[in-house]
Chain A
Amino acid sequence: MRVKSKKPDLAQGDLTPMIDMTFQLIAFFMVLINFAQTEANDRVVLPSSKLVKPPEVALEFPIILHVAQDGEIVLGGDEFTVETLRIGLQREMSVIKAEGKTANDANVVIRAHQDTAMGDVQEVIRVAQEQNLINFALRVKEDNR
């Protein structure tokens, strides 16, 4: 006697290739993700230059100043104007001095927006100079075109 199985047919797709691909995608994005982009600021679009190359050795004691298009300055997550920047720089200087270094050892990294007025950048430099800072780095994007 022929007995028919009452179980419904389950059309099970093979999930293996999909899972393989998904894991490969995850691995790809995990490797490329850059958590160390703390230096970047959304309000700043850097100008570009063909001559610069990423530094092989990181700058010592960097003080990173983001200068937005409207001239506002971001230092360590706090916003300053040219008039109040002195306070922020003094705070940074006290950290550098606590490590037994002087203003000559510090590097002021200026990340200014490409459309910022140059005068605003010069004012930032002037305020930093008043704190005896002498080493400046004008940060730009590498232009490979």
Chain B
Amino acid sequence: MKRRFLDVVLDTMRTLTIKTGYPVPISRSDVYSWARELNLKAKGPVVLYTGALYQIMPYLESLVSILKRAKESRTFLELMGLGKRFASSSLVKTFIKVDKVKVATSNAILRSIVLLLKEVGVEPSYLYENDLYSGVLLYDLGLSETFLLQAKRVYKVFKERGVKKIITVDPHTTYVLRNVYPKFIEGFDLEVQSYIEILSERIERKRPKETVEVVIHDPCFYARYQNIVEEPRKILEASGIKVLEPRRTRRFTSCCGGPVEALYPDLSRAVAMDRIRELSSISKTIVTLCPICFSNLSRVKPQNVEVIDLALLVAKVRGLMLGK
């Protein structure tokens, strides 16, 4: 039977997730290292769950470039054989070259989220080495059995730790936990709220030293799937940031192209460039609320355009940044 590139990618993600709990070759300590200096409790009914999406994006980029190279050279693909074998070999870790700057940015975003939550009086606990991947990508790619396996693992962690409420940090994880898990896990009874929703309820007005003007890029999974549209605007405006709207915005937002990066990199890039053009015609500072949007738009942005995550920007203008 002919092995398609698609099958290799699917197999790789499936196998890695089953073996390691993550769809990319990332070590557990790299998933939670961002939280080291924040002194979050390891136990408590309200837990911050990152689902590791911010952390795995730099790794995913690297994995994709390996697979892309493999696709271009057939011998490499043959050498690799089944994705399964590839994923389980130590080969993969040798090849993965992660951009340290990107890792640092992901970590800084996560730290900002915690600082913002603390500012509004929310002190969540954290799962550390049990901050597992939610499985959302597997779900979207139709790997339903592996997704279910992963969802059960994640749910078990929550239950063992007596979690009642989960605070999520990105639109995809929020959606999959709130809207998909209950369909697959019997008796699912956890409250799920995104940090964006929490902040928008509690954030207080604060004027920044200088006026900042940004254009907002709504992520599909907040704006269309969960009707989270006004919340990020409220957070930005409460921090004295002027929010400009692009042509396609709110429910009518247009995708960053990120979700097909692994399988159709050229298409993904074209979609991202189209969106960057539209956004940067309104402002040279683009605010994103999703690690996939952030990663994919950053990749194609021109030099004079800045793409910044909402948490990082808001924490900065509110003067919340830690020393580094």
A joins B in a complex: no
Q: B-side interface residues toward A, CB under 8 Å? A: none
